[in-house]
Amino acid sequence: MGQTSSGGSSRTLVLPGDPVGEDVEARAPYIYVDDRGVKRAAVPGFVDDRGGKKVFVPLESIYIPKPGDIVIGMVHSVGVTNWFVDINSPYMAVLNLQDFLGRPFNPATDEPGRYLSAGDDIKAKVLAFDRTRNPLLTVQGEGLGKIVEGKIVEIAPARIPRVIGRKGSMLEVLSSETGCEIFAAVNGRVHVKCPNPEVEAIVILAIKTIEREAFTSGLTARIRKLIEEEKVVRGVGK
């Protein structure tokens, strides 16, 4: 049925309710075990047979924060001593003023709106989340904090691993071909910082193409070609 194969590995498309086979690791939320002990897909995905090792690759996913994740968030609203941050998840995240300042704050003079307001993008680390309270963010760490330049591209979180590529190979192509700095966050947001608007447009086009054709073969080569062609079209010199 939905089976394709290329060079020793084979791939089967499975849909919610389809059995995935006993040798696929049961991994919530993508795979569940029914009352009779049968492992079934809960979301659309592929079962990839990688030389005998069966792996489930989800085609859809909903971002659920995990402590340690680096996410790109957007300030949604400003509280009295904190911010509520949209991290493209069912759960609104919280960033405390004290964490942002890195010191105890003075309620008389330190007001959160002075530092970040609604619509600001931030790069932050998930400090804690247990699904009973809102996820807690921190910006204390290398490269974290308010994002002041570049663009944020939003794509399906399930496609982020393809933007990164195996061992970072796709990211490497994207940045070496364009000279942009690119950070792909697990919550489906990609931060691009480019030397000029022309290459920025090209890199965004490339990321959207990766999202749309994420699981086609030879993607890395085609993306490289796409960027080269676009550079010619848009007259961006080497």
Kindly list the residues in this chain that would bind other proteins in the complex (CB under 8 A): 1-2, 4, 6, 11, 13, 15-18, 28-30, 32, 34, 40, 42-44, 46, 58-62, 64, 90-92, 131-132, 158, 212-217
Please report how close the Cβ of residue 220 comes to other proteins at its closest, in angstroms.
15
Q: Helix 197-212 and helix 219-233: axis angle, to 10°?
A: 150
Please report how close the Cβ of residue 179 comes to other proteins at its closest, in angstroms.
28
Beta strands (DSSP E) in the chain are 3-6, 9-14, 31-33, 39-41, 45-50, 53-58, 70-78, 82-86, 93-96, 121-128, 136-138, 145-146, 151-154, 181-185, 189-193
Q: Which is nearer to other proteins, 38 or 141 (CB)?
A: 38
Please report how close the Cβ of residue 136 comes to other proteins at its closest, in angstroms.
15
Q: Please report where in the chains the tokens 């400090």 appear, as a residue.
A: 127
Q: Which is nearer to other proteins, 76 or 146 (CB)?
A: 76
Q: Which is nearer to other proteins, 163 or 214 (CB)?
A: 214
Q: Which is nearer to other proteins, 134 or 175 (CB)?
A: 134
Please report how close the Cβ of residue 20 comes to other proteins at its closest, in angstroms.
12
CA distance 105 to 79: 14
CA distance 32 to 38: 8
Collect all residues with Cβ–Cβ distance below 8 Å to 148 and sequence separation of at least 6.
none
Please report how close the Cβ of residue 209 comes to other proteins at its closest, in angstroms.
11
Q: Which is nearer to other proteins, 147 or 188 (CB)?
A: 188
